[in-house]
Structure 1
Amino acid sequence: MQDRVPDRKPATTGAQVVSAGSARQPLLSRRGLAIVGVLAIAALIAAGYAYWQHETFYPSTDNAQVAANIIQITPVVTGLITDVKVQEYAPVKEGDVLVELNQGPFRATLKRAEIRRDIAQQQASAASGPQAATAKGNAEEADIAVAEANAELGHATIKAPIDGTVGKVRIRPGEVAKAGVPLFPLVDTSTWWVDANFKETDLARIKPGQTAYVWLDSDPSKKLTGKVEAVSKASGSAFSLMPSENATGSWVKVVQRFPVRIALTVQPNDPPLGVGASASVQIDTTTDGAGDGAK
């Protein structure tokens, strides 16, 4: 009788277990990477669509500058400058004295006019008959001459016509101010706006009355609010001294930019404004001026 040899199962080594696990890991890694890649692509597509939608309803540009009215302080009469009361870039109020001209010649002219008026009035009172009408006319002309001389004396003191900020001052006492020749600029600080240059592809939705948001480069952390006031009917290049000529056969089509004026609603806590300051603008085209749209 033969002894039965028991069946022996092949021993499973640690190396075989590791090998099987290693075979599954690359498969899982490839699947994981594929899923991550699909999700990333989907996220990019969603982000791109959201950006396109946002830019469609909220067109924006960083090609914008702050603007305000600038008037030139111009003397009405010619005279010697005796005093300059203001400094460069100083704020002034309406009625503040800016420049004083020598009043001596104007006072002398006024005095002579008053003497002539007194004589003319005396002659008019003494005249009778046919000479009365002529004397009365002379007296009236003398009154007008006095009024004109008095006005010229008043013009010798140049005052601020509005509230504003003085610009560059280059005049000094001792110089002659000539009638009609500007002395220095004055920025009107009562009204501010932004001239924003938008691409022509954005103009279809931009209309007057829509709400606009402005960020100044000098303080981008604060947002200013305004309203679209007007949209130009000509591109910025059309206003240049040498407009571009596209009649040749080698021209390259370039998206044009059109100026859009945005009237600012200035609040006490807004950052300081300055003419020519760079800004970024976004327009909410879902508004029509009657109320704000959802953003």
Structure 2
Amino acid sequence: MSSTDTDNDQTAEAAAEAPKKNGKGRRVALIAVTLVVLCGLVWGVWWFLHRNEVSTDDAYVQANIGQMAPRVTGTVAKVFVRDNEHVKQGDVLFTLDPADFRAALAKAEANLEAARASYAASQQDLSVTRQTSAADIDNAKAALESAQAEAQRAEADAKRYRALYAKHEVSQQQLDQKNTQAKSAEAQVRQARAKLAQAKASPDRIKLKQSQASSAQAKIAQAKAQVEQARLNLSYTEIRAPHAGKIAKKSIVAGSQISAGQSAMALVETNPWVVANYKETQLDRVRPGQPVSIAIDAYPDREFAGRVESIQPGTGVTFSLLPPQNATGNFVKIVQRVPVKIIFSKPSQLKGLDISPGLSVEPTINVAGPIKHLDRSDIPATETADAQ
């Protein structure tokens, strides 16, 4: 076979394979276009369904955690709870040895009785002073009048004897005797006047007695306050749960010495909420009252309903211990995050579940959903009580 025939055969084979290659290329292109269209369609559907949703995985469960501490210093007598135990409002958590506080109360009550006795004595003394004061004045006036009368008589006798002495009818001795009697009577008048002045000064003594009585009465009030404080201190030896919750981090046992204000255990409230740290670029349509779908990592098969309660008036770093200072040095812009508080709108969904502070959460806010304006009734009861 000649070379010309060979070339003709190859040309014929190439011409026959060309349509096959072109068909395969078109199929690949069609499949690629179809996949792109499908991906775009899926993305478009996803975007359409989720265009009004704002979500973040930087969110955690929070709750009020109160430190249970006694108001007085003492020795722990008995502990009634264990770690991770649920308690109701009013349950006794632990008690302190009341012996010292009972003794202090008995001493305060004894001081109160002593103060009352002192006040009664001062009142009696005041009454006697008032009664004797009037009598002393009357007696002093009578004594003064008697002394003045006696002085007048003695002066008259002395004057008469001086006249008789001038006529040599009485002796010098008799005259001196009458003069002495007149001077003595005048001295008695001065003494009676002094006693009357002293008796008239009795209102000052009455004021003094009144002041002493008032002081004794004030001591009664002070003793009553001490008794009340001693009773309060005795009542403080029994530490009760201020609200329902769960015990955590118990650090005491019977016999432990504990100071006033020293934490003995933590009490975690049973009304949790969510704090979600949204990017600042996500908040343009977020408003309080919008519905939220909450997914908790600890319960992946459940979905919880919630609502936006409030948006913090500042980014997270603004309220940090050491907020950043960007006035000097190189600046790198970082998207800030703003804490958003979300409450569970259906508390019944939480029954039987352990929704503890710190659990990871992924909330999704429906920014197009109906806005419910929250009032005090929508806030958990314990949180409302703390605010009051």
- Please indicate, yes or no, whether the TM-score normalized by the shorter chain is above 0.5: yes
Q: Does the aligned pair in 2 maintain the 1:232–1:258 contact within 8 Å?
A: yes
Corresponding residue for 1:274? 356
Q: Deviations over 1:66-109 (max 9, x none)?
A: 00111111211111112121111111111111111110110000
Secondary structure, aligned partner of 1:44: helix
Larger relative contact order (Cα-Cα within 8 Å, sequence gap ≥ 6):
2
What's the CA shift for 1:250?
5.1
Q: Does the aligned pair in 2 maintain the 1:67–1:194 contact within 8 Å?
A: yes
What's the CA shift for 1:137?
2.5
1:221 matched to 2:285? The reply is no
1:152 matched to 2:233? The reply is yes
Letter in 2 for 1:149: A
Superposed counterparts of 1:42-57, under 5 Å: 42-57=37-52
Secondary structure, aligned partner of 1:137: helix
What's the CA shift for 1:33?
2.8
Corresponding residue for 2:60? 65
* Runs (5+) with no aligned partner, structure 1: 1-18
Q: Does the aligned pair in 2 maintain the 1:207–1:288 contact within 8 Å?
A: no
1:255 matched to 2:250? The reply is no
Q: Does the aligned pair in 1 maintain the 2:294–2:362 contact within 8 Å?
A: yes
Equivalent-residue separation in structure 2 for 1:62 and 1:194 (angstroms): 12
Equivalent-residue separation in structure 2 for 1:67 and 1:192 (angstroms): 6
What's the CA shift for 1:26?
4.3
Equivalent-residue separation in structure 2 for 1:210 and 1:172 (angstroms): 47
| Aligned mate of 1:165, from 218, 224, 246 | 246
Specify whether residues 266 and 20 from structure 1 end up closer, same or farther in structure 2 by C-alpha distance, changes over 3 A only: same
Letter in 2 for 1:258: V
Q: Does the aligned pair in 2 maintain the 1:95–1:161 contact within 8 Å?
A: yes
Equivalent-residue separation in structure 2 for 1:144 and 1:249 (angstroms): 62
With the length of structure 2 as denominator, give the TM-score of the two structures. Answer: 0.64
Name the structure where strand makes up a greater proportion of residues. 1
Q: Does the aligned pair in 2 maintain the 1:66–1:275 contact within 8 Å?
A: yes
Equivalent-residue separation in structure 1 for 2:42 and 2:335 (angstroms): 25
What's the CA shift for 1:194?
0.5
Q: Does the aligned pair in 2 maintain the 1:98–1:159 contact within 8 Å?
A: yes
| Aligned-pair Cα RMSD in Å | 2.5
Q: What is the number of equivalent residue pairs in this alignment?
A: 273
Secondary structure, aligned partner of 1:94: coil
Name the structure where helix makes up a greater proportion of residues. 2
Equivalent-residue separation in structure 2 for 1:77 and 1:45 (angstroms): 69
Q: Does the aligned pair in 2 maintain the 1:213–1:224 contact within 8 Å?
A: yes
Equivalent-residue separation in structure 2 for 1:266 and 1:172 (angstroms): 38
What's the CA shift for 1:143?
1.7
Specify whether residues 261 and 59 from structure 1 end up closer, same or farther in structure 2 by C-alpha distance, changes over 3 A only: same
Specify whether residues 246 and 113 from structure 1 end up closer, same or farther in structure 2 by C-alpha distance, changes over 3 A only: closer
Q: Which has the larger radius of gyration?
A: 2
Superposed counterparts of 1:100-111, under 5 Å: 100-111=95-106
Q: Does the aligned pair in 2 maintain the 1:236–1:257 contact within 8 Å?
A: yes
Superposed counterparts of 1:118-267, under 5 Å: 118-126=113-121, 127-128=123-124, 129=126, 130=210, 131-189=212-270, 191-246=271-326, 251-267=331-347
* Runs (5+) with no aligned partner, structure 2: 1-13, 127-209, 374-388
Q: Deviations over 1:14-57 (max 9, x none)?
A: xxxxx999765544443333222222111222333344445541
**Which range moves more in the overlay, 159-168 or 29-38?**
29-38
Specify whether residues 97 and 249 from structure 1 end up closer, same or farther in structure 2 by C-alpha distance, changes over 3 A only: closer
Q: Does the aligned pair in 1 maintain the 2:87–2:244 contact within 8 Å?
A: yes
Q: Does the aligned pair in 2 maintain the 1:88–1:169 contact within 8 Å?
A: yes
Secondary structure, aligned partner of 1:120: helix
With the length of structure 1 as denominator, give the TM-score of the two structures. Answer: 0.83
Specify whether residues 143 and 242 from structure 1 end up closer, same or farther in structure 2 by C-alpha distance, changes over 3 A only: closer
Equivalent-residue separation in structure 2 for 1:103 and 1:177 (angstroms): 13
Letter in 1 for 2:360: S
Q: Does the aligned pair in 1 maintain the 2:97–2:237 contact within 8 Å?
A: yes
Q: Does the aligned pair in 2 maintain the 1:79–1:101 contact within 8 Å?
A: yes
Q: Does the aligned pair in 1 maintain the 2:304–2:349 contact within 8 Å?
A: no
Secondary structure, aligned partner of 1:185: strand
| Aligned mate of 2:81, from 77, 80, 86 | 86
Q: Does the aligned pair in 2 maintain the 1:225–1:265 contact within 8 Å?
A: yes
Equivalent-residue separation in structure 2 for 1:132 and 1:248 (angstroms): 72
Equivalent-residue separation in structure 2 for 1:118 and 1:266 (angstroms): 58
